[in-house]
Structure 1
Amino acid sequence: MIVMKFGGTSVGSPENIAKAVALVKKEPREKVVVVSAMTKVTDSLTNIANAIIDMPTSVVEKEVLKFQDEIYKRHKEVLDKLVKDDKVRKEAMQKIGEFAEKLKITLLGVGYLEDLTPKSLDYILSFGERFSSVVVAAVMRSKGMKAVALTGYEAGIITDSNFGCARPISMELEKNVKNRLMPFIEKGITTVVTGFIAADRQARMTTLGRGGSDYSASLLGRYLAVEEVQIWTDVDGIMSTDPNVVKNAKLIKNISYVEAMDLAYFGAKVIHSKMIAPAMGVNIPVRVKNTFNPDCEGTLIVMEQKKIDAVVKAVAINRNVEVVNIEGIGMAETPNIAGRIFTLLGENNVNIVMISGSSESNLSFVIDKKDVDKTIGLLRESFGGNGVRDIGLINDVCMITVVGAGMRGTKGIAAKIFDTVSNAGGNIIMIAQGSSEVNIAFVIKNDAAAATINALHKRFVDDA
């Protein structure tokens, strides 16, 4: 048995959905399919939810009805083009019509009350995957397959109540996933499960945060004990660097869990870092494949490679970051100030990407750009004047990470990396290296990024 997860681009149009369904039909093994929302649907749901709370009451209904009509028609178009079986199409149309009506009611409530809570937003966002799972299951049935659409909750993914970034409860998944999915699988029915969304113990919709669909697939793979989790996307696999920056970026055919996790965490966009852990915990291989080039072998992620061919496997870049710099002589006299800062940010769902403390009176760390305003507000409210003299930002930066299992124990690798960066014109602002020695991350200004990435790739990948 395998899990096949299809991302937003893979289910982004009638033509793409037809390709994805053909891949599912061609796969002879038992499978569970996980789908994202169609391309840009989640963004559109987020945008309308945030927009209507600031709209005049007089225009809320007009805008909500317009949005309801657009999202209904987009999914109806797929059914009209791909589902020729009248009975199957009618059943699916009825379902998406019911979803569209529930979405309308929810948006109207949010708009009239001018209040969007994290719980309400999760419920609104859940419709993207609920629409797509019904559509994909209908297309599969029209092609002669037995298929049923399920939410993540119906498939056994139960989380805590941390709306917006819910965490799966392992004990619940252990108990529920097999019990809920195996009856379908034993009858030859392929389940089409919503990625990204689940529910808490009270059956209230939750979302798993960024990368949630990959995470859903990996969780189901773990608790079903599958032989492989496949991530079907719009690229051939994990590349040695960003091909938009380095023209001769190479496909990585084999990579370890740890390397893949670091690459995903530090900027590679093909998979999300948190999806690795469930598969890694039970040694299930993860294969990244291209929906539009299925004959390409893709990238296989495994526990450990049998042979390490090069010291450095890849160079990742993340431009979507900024550096927060906290200064104050009183910090040295304030017990556990770093712990208090990071606890505060963690409780407010701010992810610290990288940390560097240069002295007792200075603390620097890297966060996503989207969290900057929230972070500065929280820090000034809680620590301004309390041992902290200044809270500043260093913007227009990027984080570059050199990753490779072969770096572990290799003498002089850090010096060679920094020498290459310097020769390329980069000035390092921050540095971090984990004790695993599998990565070295640093921050430089954006204007030196392209030259630095190309120089590192040439020295450690091309010429290795």
Structure 2
Amino acid sequence: MIVMKFGGTSTQDAQAQSNVAGIVLANLSKTPVVVISAIAQATNVLERAGKLAEQGNVEEANQTLDQLAERHYRILDTNISHKERRASVRVIIEQSLNELKELVRGVAILRELTPRTLDALYCYGELLSSRLIAATCQERGIDAVWLDTKDFMITEAIHNRALPIMEIVQEKLTALALPLIQQGKVIVTQGFIGVTQHGNRTTMGRESSDYSATIIGAALQVENIQIWTDVDGILTSDPRVVASPKKVKTMLPAEAFELSYFGAKVLHPNTMLPALEKSIPVYIYNSRRPHLSGTRVASDAFSKPMVKSVAYKRGVVVVTISPRRRLGQYIFWEHVYHVLTKHSVEATVTVSSEFNVAICFEAKNTLDAVIHDLATVGNVTTLEGKGIICLVGYGIRTQPECLSRTFNALSGMQISLLSFGASESSITIVMDDADIFEAVKKLHHEFFEKGHDDEVFEILEHFQAPQ
């Protein structure tokens, strides 16, 4: 048994969804369980509709929803020729559109878009996309059955960032899925969305369908988990920044986690955790080029210490806090942590000394409130307009050559902060946001364009960067 998860660019239109059905068909012998994301940009559109309604713009919100529904109708009319099947899915789209319009009407009346309501909006994208994929698979002769995550993906009662209750998920999913699989059915379900024990829809964070796939894979103890996206695997850097990235053939889970945490979009940061606990390998494939071998992420993917990829994150702020009075280090940290938790701030890089702590995090609308609350803890200074570059590769922090090559590549560029952190798999550099792309190109040239290890890296033929 395997799990196959397809992202938004892999489901974005009729041709993409037809490709998905073809890939599933080619893997029937492996007993796939299929996890589907919303079509590209659907989640953003649903959020925009909610925010328009919050501002009282119901008509514009409804127009936005109508346009999204039309994209689904086009996929339906192109891919589904079976009359009854097409009519059945059309009714579901129509009902969903009506429910969405009722939701935005309620938001407009209250002029409030709560996290709970936002989750209720979000879920429609994946519910509809997975319905279309199930029907498209059936058109291709696949005995596909649609399964709603509300029947098994039980989460904590936290909206927009829910965590699964794994014991319940495993119990419910195995009871539902295994009888269907034994009957030869191909399950098609959703990523990203779950439900509380009281039946309220939740989501596990934006772009978290990968995480859902590994939760499902771990619960069913599958042979492997496949993440199908729009790139050929994990690359040595962002293909929109460097001209000739190489594919990384194999990678350790810790390395993949660092990459996702520091801005690489191939995997959600939480993806590897359930798979790692069950020792399940994760593969990243390109749905547009399914013949390619992709990247294998597994605990046995060991190689000698080397930089495997360069990731980056833009739009961060560096906040330094110094206590005004002598506090115990633990008490000081407790106060700082309380503020960060209160505002749901995830510190990307943290560097501390006896006298102060510097924290890097994404600059969001809550920045002023965060700084205001931190000012009650100590003296606060801020550096805005910063970006973070992360060199990833197991063991690189113990390699002096790696650091010297980094400084050589960035010679003449101003570095605000450098950190090895607690991880053996990364070196992080903070610098001006405007310099990030130039620095990434220089580092990529230094570590990957002067030669490479054929056992770890592969030159991509006819490579095209995703849009």
Task: Give TM-score scaled by structure 2 length.
Answer: 0.91
Superposed displacement of residue 225, structure 1: 0.7
Superposed displacement of residue 64, structure 1: 4.1
Q: Choose which of 70, 73, 82 in structure 1 pairs with 2:70.
A: 73
Structure 1 residues 251-260 or 140-149, which shifts more? 140-149
Q: Distance in 2 between matches of 1:315 and 1:211?
A: 21
Q: Deviations over 1:257-304 (max 9, x none)?
A: 111111111121111121011111111111110111111111111113
Tell me which amino acid in the other structure corresponds to 2:273. A
Q: Does 1:447 align with 2:434?
A: yes
User: May I ask how many residue pairs the two structures share in their alignment?
Assistant: 450
Tell me which amino acid in the other structure corresponds to 1:321. V
For the 8 Å contact 1:152–1:193, the answer to whether it is kept is yes
Correspondence for 1:353: 348
For the 8 Å contact 2:385–2:432, the answer to whether it is kept is yes
Tell me which amino acid in the other structure corresponds to 1:293. R
Superposed displacement of residue 79, structure 1: 0.8
Q: Distance in 2 between matches of 1:251 and 1:69?
A: 40
Correspondence for 1:366: 360
Superposed displacement of residue 415, structure 1: 4.0
Correspondence for 2:389: 400
Q: Does 1:280 align with 2:281?
A: no
Tell me which amino acid in the other structure corresponds to 2:18. A
Tell me which amino acid in the other structure corresponds to 2:80. V
Q: Does 1:20 align with 2:20?
A: yes
Tell me which amino acid in the other structure corresponds to 1:440. I
Q: Distance in 2 between matches of 1:311 and 1:214?
A: 26
Structure 1 residues 404-413 or 39-48, which shifts more? 404-413
For the 8 Å contact 1:64–1:108, the answer to whether it is kept is no
Q: Choose which of 374, 377, 381 in structure 1 pairs with 2:369.
A: 377
Tell me which amino acid in the other structure corresponds to 1:10. S
For the 8 Å contact 2:323–2:332, the answer to whether it is kept is no
Q: Distance in 2 between matches of 1:79 and 1:456?
A: 46
Q: Structure 1 residues 316, 340: CA separation in 2 closer, same or farther (over 3 Å shift)?
A: same
**Where in structure 2 are the equivalents of 1:321-336 lying within 5 Å?**
321-327=316-322, 329-330=324-325, 332=327, 336=331
For the 8 Å contact 2:420–2:426, the answer to whether it is kept is yes
Q: Structure 1 residues 26, 46: CA separation in 2 closer, same or farther (over 3 Å shift)?
A: same
Three-state SS of the structure 2 residue aligned to 1:148 is strand
Correspondence for 2:49: 48
Q: Structure 1 residues 267, 315: CA separation in 2 closer, same or farther (over 3 Å shift)?
A: same
For the 8 Å contact 1:88–1:141, the answer to whether it is kept is no
Q: Distance in 1 between matches of 2:296 and 2:328?
A: 50
Correspondence for 1:250: 246
Q: Does 1:137 align with 2:134?
A: yes
Superposed displacement of residue 243, structure 1: 2.3
For the 8 Å contact 1:151–1:197, the answer to whether it is kept is no
Q: Distance in 2 between matches of 1:93 and 1:456?
A: 51
Correspondence for 1:114: 111
Superposed displacement of residue 351, structure 1: 1.4
Superposed displacement of residue 48, structure 1: 1.1
Correspondence for 2:30: 29
Correspondence for 1:318: 313
For the 8 Å contact 1:133–1:149, the answer to whether it is kept is yes
Q: Distance in 2 between matches of 1:87 and 1:333?
A: 70
For the 8 Å contact 1:163–1:206, the answer to whether it is kept is yes
Superposed displacement of residue 328, structure 1: 5.2
Q: Distance in 2 between matches of 1:68 and 1:415?
A: 53
Q: Distance in 1 between matches of 2:287 and 2:330?
A: 53
For the 8 Å contact 2:388–2:431, the answer to whether it is kept is yes
Structure 1 residues 75-84 or 95-104, which shifts more? 95-104
**Where in structure 2 are the equivalents of 1:207-218 lying within 5 Å?**
207-218=203-214
Superposed displacement of residue 378, structure 1: 3.6
Q: Distance in 2 between matches of 1:182 and 1:432?
A: 47
For the 8 Å contact 1:345–1:375, the answer to whether it is kept is no
Structure 1 residues 18-27 or 348-357, which shifts more? 348-357
CA RMSD, 1 decimal: 2.0
Superposed displacement of residue 40, structure 1: 0.8
Q: Distance in 2 between matches of 1:379 and 1:39?
A: 35
Q: Deviations over 1:158-186 (max 9, x none)?
A: 11011010011122123222112112211
Superposed displacement of residue 105, structure 1: 1.0
Superposed displacement of residue 205, structure 1: 0.2
Q: Distance in 1 between matches of 2:62 and 2:444?
A: 51
For the 8 Å contact 2:217–2:224, the answer to whether it is kept is yes
Superposed displacement of residue 117, structure 1: 1.1
Q: Choose which of 130, 141, 145 in structure 2 pairs with 1:148.
A: 145
Q: Distance in 2 between matches of 1:34 and 1:331?
A: 53
Q: Distance in 1 between matches of 2:330 and 2:269?
A: 33
Q: Structure 1 residues 292, 213: CA separation in 2 closer, same or farther (over 3 Å shift)?
A: same
Q: Structure 1 residues 418, 358: CA separation in 2 closer, same or farther (over 3 Å shift)?
A: farther
Q: Distance in 2 between matches of 1:383 and 1:404?
A: 34
Identity %: 30
Q: Choose which of 191, 197, 221 in structure 1 pairs with 2:187.
A: 191
